[in-house]
Structure 1
Amino acid sequence: MQAFAAAARPLCRDSHASASGLLRHLLSTKPAPELSSEELVKKLDAKESVLVLDVRSAEELPAGVIKGSLNVPTPLWKQPDTGPVDKAIQERIRHVKEVVVHCLLCAPGKRGPTAAAALQARLSALGVAPAPRVSVLAGGIDAFMKQYGGRGDLVTLPPGGWKPPAH
C-alpha cells in the first residue's frame, strides 16, 4: 500500500463543498483537448516536461497509478477554499510545460474534464505565465492501463494487475 502513496502523492483526502462561481466559470471555459495514451507515453518516455494529474479519490488509487503522478482529488477543485489547489499549482504544476489530467474514464462532463477546466481557471486567476498546456487523457486511466499496464516503468499496480473499481 505504501508504494501507491509514494507513486501518486495525495494532496488531501476530504472536502466536498462546491463554489457557484467556479461552476459558472467551468461552464464557460473551453474544454481541454484530449491526449491519447500513446501520445502521453511518448512524452513520458522522452522525459518531456509533463505532469500527470490524477483526480481520482484516494480510495481509488490502490487499483493502480501512473508513476510520478500527482493526486489532487476532484472535490478539491470544486470547493470555495482554493488553498490546496493553489499549493499544488505553486509547488508542482506551474513548473511544467504540460499537465495531463485523468480520472477513471475521462468522459465529457466527468471528473477529468471538470478538473482540467478548473485547473485552467486557477492558472488564469493566479496569473501563471506561461501557463502549462492542460489536456485530458482520452479514455482515462482505464484505457491507459489496458494498453500500458504491463510497463512497470510507467505504472504501479497491485498483484493481479489492473482491476478498475466498478462505476
Structure 2
Amino acid sequence: MSQDGVPDFAELLRSARRSAVHLEMRDIYSVGDEKDGFEEFLRTGRTDLDPESPFWRGWTPLVRETVARGVRMRRARIVSEPVTDYIRWEHALTAVNAAVGEHVRWLPRRLASDIALPGNDLWLIDDRRVMFHWFTGDGDWAGHEFTEDPGVVKMVVAAFEAVWERAVDHEKFTV
C-alpha cells in the first residue's frame, strides 16, 4: 500500500481470490503508454495483437497469473455510438484481452440511461475493494482513489452487474 492509502495496481490484482472486474465509461483515453499504438492504428488500421510484445508486457502476464489462480476477470465498456476511433482501436485490441483470459462485454451508452453508475472508471476486487481511476478531460491519468467502504462497494457491485447483464459479448459487438 502506498503512503496515500492506494495500493499498487498489480498488488491489488494479485490480492484477488475470486473476481476482478473493470468498468470503463470513457470514449477516449490518451494515456501516454498507448500513444504510439493508437497513432499507428489511425495511420494504418493495424493493431498489436501479439500478447508477448512489449506493448502488452505489463498486462498479459498479470492477467494470466490472475486467471491461473481461478480469478474470474470481467471487463465492461460503456460506449457512445457511433464509436470513436479510440474505441474502434480498443475493440480491435480486445482479442488479446480475451486470449489471455478476460471476459469482455460492450454496452451502448443509450442502453445505460437507467443504470445508476459511479462517476469514474474502476476496478472491483472480490466484491469488497474498489479502485477508482480519475482522468483529465482529454483522457490522461489524473489519479486514483481506493475504498473498502461497504456502501460504495454495494453501489459499484450493483452498477457493474447491471451493465454486465445488458452488455453484448465482445465476439458479437461490432463497431
User: What TM-score do the two structures reach when normalised by structure 1?
Assistant: 0.35
Larger Rg: 2
User: What TM-score do the two structures reach when normalised by structure 2?
Assistant: 0.34
The structure whose residues are more often strand, as a share, is 2
